[in-house]
């Protein structure tokens, strides 16, 4: 029943290169050593996700203190594992080795204030935010990572294919979502997607149609659905699917840590007139972007190209959300988290570089009517944008 | 196909009482006003979960700034909604109203350092951690909350019942988990469980058996399974279920925000000799605890009672995990998050009080063999512990 797709740990050279990259950046920033505590960052730099403390000095060997599981850590990481994970123990070892001097780098974008204070007391030196450095390093994917992202994308393709077979008029959004989510997990979806930051929570899948698809929620996404409770106010709802309105399926693949994120439009019957133009424009924006975007192009240019088209078609009010629900971006980086760099928006000056991977999602919200949009994932190459999946992004008529 | 169980927002009096409780505690602690930003705490004090800023002064009316969704916020909360959510705007309003003086309280257990710095610059006054106050307030559940918790428990009962019908030798842990997770969601499970704190991630369900059930992971739980990827190293795996070994199903209900958390032991065939004593002891610990625990009993006493029994039976090494995987608690509070107060452990001096709700989970990990244990949820009453569900916690033979 389950298709097992074995998850490989990152190759040893990959971990070595990531650590070297961090050391170089620490040197450039004048930071003596980094203390890395967030589980996703620990996974990125070690290849294993344990309760522990990773210390990377600007010069010298990293120290990986592990509280648990030492056994699993030793199996998964090429780094030497120190089988003790207490903060005070780690501090004593660092002190003995003469590490504690100059400035220490920590992940101050996610580290809770109380933990910061504990470390500040232990170290008694300046602590600087290295989250921008870590995000930049993680922004460029290796070929190993791109391969994992492709496997994540294959789960997405499988789920979009299955959606064609199972969607029927009168099913609830939740009915459809549950069937598809289970199918993804049978194809080795890890069952959980990570979004960096305070209060960021993700659905694996959102199926949404009509008025419920037009409301905004506390998360940073243009279209989120309403969910089934005010306590988790996004995702699929009990709303029953109707003919002629666009059904949006926004699904995140998750394979061996790597996230993909694509959206398709399904329609039972013919598409209502209101939605025809915005649907066509969303698809054209993707096609036109694929015509010119590649390494060297600025993300802002991509955003402005889309905006120009949207203005010409007089759809600006509905573009990337409506009113308070509008988001500023049309694309976002993908990797171990679903909100990585680059962000494709008017305000983020970023030149595309080979190995970046991002989701691109022209979407429209028409209040009182419904929401629609398409999302595809791109790998930046020297001469083009390469698709992560090969699934058509046209409207799917059922 | 879906059983819709409508989610009610908390009654107006409930919100008023929660806010009053907070104001009283702020006064006692000499804090002029609280700024609440975490989505779960915002939901607790307002009845709606939005991107916004809740300000509660020790004296006077709360101010609820909402960025999005203003429309949904107005529908769900009895508080007045200020339809602007920017930090600098909120600061200006607070300044004009003369709020910014004395000490401000914030959730410093979860607030990332960088956000703290932004607020500190905006406010320029002392900021004190009020997470202990909030956790204490949330620890005592109202009858409304207990009713929601019971509905959450009914999802758990339904899933445990269904498990009896579907578990077959040779299925993978994941096969079983997917069927049961979908069933829970068809009974209005919200699809997501919240665990407070840095790096805390939850599976909704863990199905685990034999050696894979004996490994520990980075989360604070005695038994977690191994998952299918090092990038999400807990939960059900591709391990195939065998005869005669205990199959553990640890499942968290989630209804209208409220979490329940119970575990049962299933066995195909007869139970292997090794597991008989620990299984019997786990069940006896629950029965004996129900015989004496009630309002007025100390949580430490409950822990020590269990420990004494475990020592007498010479099972101490395996109790609540093995080696590095051992956790310190045998019980944990439940509510909008799965790790609330009270914690039932040797080191937490807490007298049980009517309205507390906690999961109680005597468990054993036998290295190289397997893990087992039972978990039931209790509501503390004046004269007894009341079960949340009425499902038998004995071993289920298939």
pLDDT in tens, A88-102: 999 999 999 999 999
pLDDT at B218: 86
Rounded to 5 degrees, what angle do the CA atoms A373, A206, B76 make? 105
CA separation for the pair B171, B184 (Å, rounded) = 19
Contact predicate B45/B36, CB 8 Å: yes
B69 contact residues in A (CB cutoff 8 A):
215-218, 233, 324-325
Is B90 among the domain residues?
yes
Q: Do B215 and A178 touch (CB under 8 A)?
A: no
Is A323 among the domain residues?
yes
pLDDT higher than threshold 80 for residue A5:
no
**In 3-state terms, what secondary structure has residue B203?**
coil
pLDDT higher than threshold 90 for residue B3:
no
B76 contact residues in A (CB cutoff 8 A):
230
What is the ipTM, given to two decimal places? Answer: 0.96
- Select from B80, B108, B138 the last residue of a domain: B138
Indicate if A65 and A170 belong to the same structural domain.
Answer: no
**In 3-state terms, what secondary structure has residue A286?**
helix
> What number is the average pLDDT over the span B131-153?
97
Nearest to B41 by CA among A202, A217, A231: A231
Relative to beta strand B63-68, strand B81-82 is parallel
Instruction: List C-alpha distances in Å: A63 to A26, B268, B379.
Output: 16, 45, 45
The CA dihedral of B110, B116, B120, B123, to the nearest 10 degrees, is -60
| Model confidence pLDDT, tens digit, residues A176-194 | 999 999 999 999 999 999 9
Polymer length of chain A: 398
- List the structure tokens of B245: 């070994």
pLDDT at B162: 98
Q: Do A230 and B39 touch (CB under 8 A)?
A: no
Is A86 among the domain residues?
yes
- List the structure tokens of A232: 């988790």
Indicate if B134 and B283 belong to the same structural domain.
Answer: no
Counting residues of chain A whose pLDDT is more than 90, the rounded percentage is: 95
Tell me which residue in B230, B232, B257 faces A231 most closely, judged by beta carbons.
Answer: B257
Q: Do B201 and A39 touch (CB under 8 A)?
A: yes
Is B195 among the domain residues?
yes
A230 contact residues in B (CB cutoff 8 A):
7, 9, 43, 47-49, 72, 76, 256-257
A52 contact residues in B (CB cutoff 8 A):
218
Indicate if A132 and A270 belong to the same structural domain.
Answer: no
Least Cα separation, residue B180 to chain A (angstroms): 11
Indicate if B339 and B245 belong to the same structural domain.
Answer: yes
CA separation for the pair B322, B367 (Å, rounded) = 7
pLDDT higher than threshold 80 for residue A47:
yes
A367 contact residues in B (CB cutoff 8 A):
none
CATH classification at residue B235: 3.90.230.10
CA separation for the pair A134, A148 (Å, rounded) = 20
Tell me which residue in B7, B231, B255 faces A43 most closely, judged by beta carbons.
Answer: B231
Give residue B5's pLDDT band: very low, low, confident or very high (50, 70, 90): low
pLDDT at B220: 86
Distance from the Cα of residue B118 to its chain's centroid: 30
Is A7 among the domain residues?
no
Task: Compute chain A's Rg from CA coordinates.
Answer: 22
> What number is the average pLDDT over the span A331-358?
97
Indicate if B253 and B195 belong to the same structural domain.
Answer: yes
Polymer length of chain B: 398
Q: Do A229 and B7 touch (CB under 8 A)?
A: yes
Q: Do A69 and B215 touch (CB under 8 A)?
A: yes
- List the structure tokens of A304: 């402005």
Positive or negative: CA dihedral A91, A95, A99, A102: positive
CA separation for the pair A330, A347 (Å, rounded) = 12
Indicate if A134 and A148 belong to the same structural domain.
Answer: no
Question: What residues contact residue A54 under an 8 Å CB cut-off, 6+ apart?
Answer: A34, A35, A36, A37, A41, A42, A45, A46, A62, A63, A64, A65
pLDDT higher than threshold 60 for residue B217:
yes
| pTM greater than 0.95 (yes/no) | yes
Give residue A4's pLDDT band: very low, low, confident or very high (50, 70, 90): low
Q: Say if residue A392 is exposed, middle or buried (CB neighbours under 10 Å; 0-12, 13-18, 19+).
A: exposed
A112 contact residues in B (CB cutoff 8 A):
108-113, 197-198
Asked if omega into B69 is within 30° of 0 (cis), the reply is yes
Indicate if A368 and A236 belong to the same structural domain.
Answer: yes
Residue B121 DSSP one-character state: H
Nearest to A274 by CA among A209, A395, A370, A207: A370
CA separation for the pair A60, A55 (Å, rounded) = 11
Q: Where are the beta strands (DSSP E) in A309-389?
A: 329-333, 340-345, 357-360, 363-366, 370-373, 376-380, 385-387
Looking at B167-236, list the stretches that DSSP marks H as alpha helix, in order from N- to C-terminal side. 173-186
Q: Where are the beta strands (DSSP E) in chain B?
A: 33-36, 51-57, 63-68, 81-82, 103-106, 126-129, 205-209, 247-251, 254-255, 258-259, 262-267, 329-333, 340-345, 357-360, 363-366, 370-373, 376-380, 385-387, 396-397
Q: Say if residue A273 is exposed, middle or buried (CB neighbours under 10 Å; 0-12, 13-18, 19+).
A: exposed
Most confidently predicted of A54-63, B195-204, B210-219: A54-63
Least Cα separation, residue B79 to chain A (angstroms): 15
Indicate if B320 and B183 belong to the same structural domain.
Answer: yes
B72 contact residues in A (CB cutoff 8 A):
215-217, 230, 233
pLDDT at A388: 98
| Model confidence pLDDT, tens digit, residues B348-374 | 999 999 999 999 999 999 999 999 999
Looking at chain A, list the stretches that DSSP marks H as alpha helix, in order from N- to C-terminal side. 12-29, 39-46, 70-76, 87-96, 113-123, 131-139, 143-166, 173-186, 273-292, 299-312
**In 3-state terms, what secondary structure has residue A112?**
strand
Rounded to 5 degrees, what angle do the CA atoms A72, A76, A81 make? 70
Q: Do A110 and B112 touch (CB under 8 A)?
A: yes
CATH classification at residue B74: 3.40.350.10
**In 3-state terms, what secondary structure has residue B56?**
strand
Q: What is the domain range of residue B144?
A: 140-397
Report phi then psi at A294, rounded to 5. Answer: -175, 180
Q: Do A218 and B51 touch (CB under 8 A)?
A: yes
> What number is the average pLDDT over the span B66-79?
94
Q: Do B39 and A218 touch (CB under 8 A)?
A: yes
Is A287 among the domain residues?
yes
Relative to beta strand A262-267, strand A396-397 is parallel
Give residue B7's pLDDT band: very low, low, confident or very high (50, 70, 90): confident
Average pLDDT of chain A to the nearest whole number = 96
Q: Do B257 and A229 touch (CB under 8 A)?
A: yes
Indicate if B378 and B233 belong to the same structural domain.
Answer: yes
Q: Do A232 and B257 touch (CB under 8 A)?
A: yes
pLDDT at A8: 79
pLDDT higher than threshold 70 for residue A293:
yes
Tell me which residue in A67, A174, A215 faces B69 most closely, judged by beta carbons.
Answer: A215
Indicate if B224 and B337 belong to the same structural domain.
Answer: yes
A324 contact residues in B (CB cutoff 8 A):
67-70, 83
pLDDT at A7: 80
Give residue A143's pLDDT band: very low, low, confident or very high (50, 70, 90): very high
Least Cα separation, residue B291 to chain A (angstroms): 35
Contact predicate B198/B109, CB 8 Å: no
Positive or negative: CA dihedral B38, B24, B141, B197: positive
Compute how many other C-beta atoms are within 10 angstroms of the C-beta atom of residue A169. Answer: 12
- Select from A119, A138, A157 the last residue of a domain: A138
> Each residue of A137-163: b (16+ CB within 10 Å) or e?
bbbbbeeebeebbbbbbbbbbbbbebb
Indicate if B42 and B123 belong to the same structural domain.
Answer: yes
- List the structure tokens of A306: 């889309």
**Number of compact structural domains in chain A:** 2
Counting residues of chain B whose pLDDT is more than 90, the rounded percentage is: 95
- Select from A138, A164, A186 the last residue of a domain: A138
Indicate if B106 and B146 belong to the same structural domain.
Answer: no
- List the structure tokens of A131: 């989250």
pLDDT at A219: 84
CA separation for the pair B125, A376 (Å, rounded) = 46
Instruction: List C-alpha distances in Å: A39 to A58, A336, A367, A395, B308.
Output: 21, 11, 39, 38, 36
Question: What residues contact residue B81 under an 8 Å CB cut-off, 6+ apart?
Answer: B64, B66, B70, B73, B74
Compute how many other C-beta atoms are within 10 angstroms of the C-beta atom of residue A181. Answer: 24
Give residue B4's pLDDT band: very low, low, confident or very high (50, 70, 90): low
Is B5 among the domain residues?
no
CA separation for the pair B232, B2 (Å, rounded) = 29
pLDDT at B343: 98
CA separation for the pair A264, A159 (Å, rounded) = 11
Tell me which residue in A108, A182, A218 faces B114 most closely, judged by beta carbons.
Answer: A108
Is B1 among the domain residues?
no
Tell me which residue in B51, B83, B231 faces A256 most closely, judged by beta carbons.
Answer: B231
Task: Give the HSE-up count for residue A12: Cα atoms under 13 Å, Cβ half-sphere.
Answer: 5
Counting residues of chain A whose pLDDT is more than 70, the rounded percentage is: 98
Instruction: List C-alpha distances in Å: A236 to A205, A272, A370.
Output: 8, 22, 14
Instruction: List C-alpha distances in Å: A330 to A82, A196, A383.
Output: 43, 18, 21
CA separation for the pair B137, B314 (Å, rounded) = 39
pLDDT at B2: 55
A252 contact residues in B (CB cutoff 8 A):
none
Instruction: List C-alpha distances in Å: A3 to A19, A353, B284.
Output: 34, 35, 40
Q: In what order do the strands lie in the sheet with A33-36?
A: A81-82, A63-68, A51-57, A33-36, A103-106, A126-129
């Amino acid at each position: 029943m389950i298709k097992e797709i074995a998850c490989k740990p990152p190759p040893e050279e990959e971990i070595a290169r990531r650590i070297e990259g961090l050391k170089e950046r620490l040197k450039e920033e004048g930071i003596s050593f980094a203390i890395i505590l967030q589980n996703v960052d620990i996974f990125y730099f070690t290849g294993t996700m344990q309760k522990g403390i990773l210390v990377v000095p600007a010069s010298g060997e990293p120290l990986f203190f592990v509280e648990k599981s030492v056994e699993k850590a030793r199996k998964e990481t090429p780094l030497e594992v120190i089988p003790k994970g207490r903060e005070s123990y780690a501090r004593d070892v660092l002190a003995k080795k003469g590490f504690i001097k100059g400035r220490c780098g920590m992940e101050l974008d996610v580290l809770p204030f109380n933990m910061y204070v504990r470390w500040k007391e232990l170290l008694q030196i300046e602590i600087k935010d290295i989250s921008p450095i870590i995000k930049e390093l993680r922004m460029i994917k290796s070929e190993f990572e791109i391969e994992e992202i492709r496997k994540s994308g294959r789960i997405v393709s499988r789920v979009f294919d299955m959606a064609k077979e199972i969607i029927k008029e009168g099913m609830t959004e939740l009915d459809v979502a549950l069937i598809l989510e289970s199918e993804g997990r049978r194809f080795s979806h890890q069952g959980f997607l990570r979004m960096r930051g305070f209060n960021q929570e993700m659905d694996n899948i959102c199926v949404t149609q009509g008025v419920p698809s037009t409301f905004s929620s506390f998360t940073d996404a243009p279209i989120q659905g309403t969910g089934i409770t005010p306590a988790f106010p996004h995702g699929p709802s009990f709303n029953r699917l109707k003919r002629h309105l666009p059904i949006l399926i926004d699904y995140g693949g998750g394979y061996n840590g790597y996230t993909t994120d694509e959206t398709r439009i399904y329609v039972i019957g013919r598409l209502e007139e209101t939605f025809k133009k915005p649907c066509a424009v969303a698809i054209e924006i993707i096609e036109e972007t694929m015509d010119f975007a590649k390494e060297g192009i600025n993300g802002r240019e991509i955003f402005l190209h889309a905006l120009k088209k949207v203005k010409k078609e007089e759809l600006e009010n509905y573009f990337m959300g409506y009113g308070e629900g509008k988001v500023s971006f049309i694309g976002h980086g993908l990797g171990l988290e679903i909100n990585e760099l680059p962000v494709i928006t008017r305000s983020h000056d970023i030149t595309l570089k080979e190995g970046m991977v991002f989701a691109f999602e022209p979407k429209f919200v028409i209040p009182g009517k419904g929401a629609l949009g398409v999302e595809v994932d791109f790998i930046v190459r020297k001469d083009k944008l390469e698709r992560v999946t090969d699934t058509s992004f046209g409207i799917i008529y059922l």
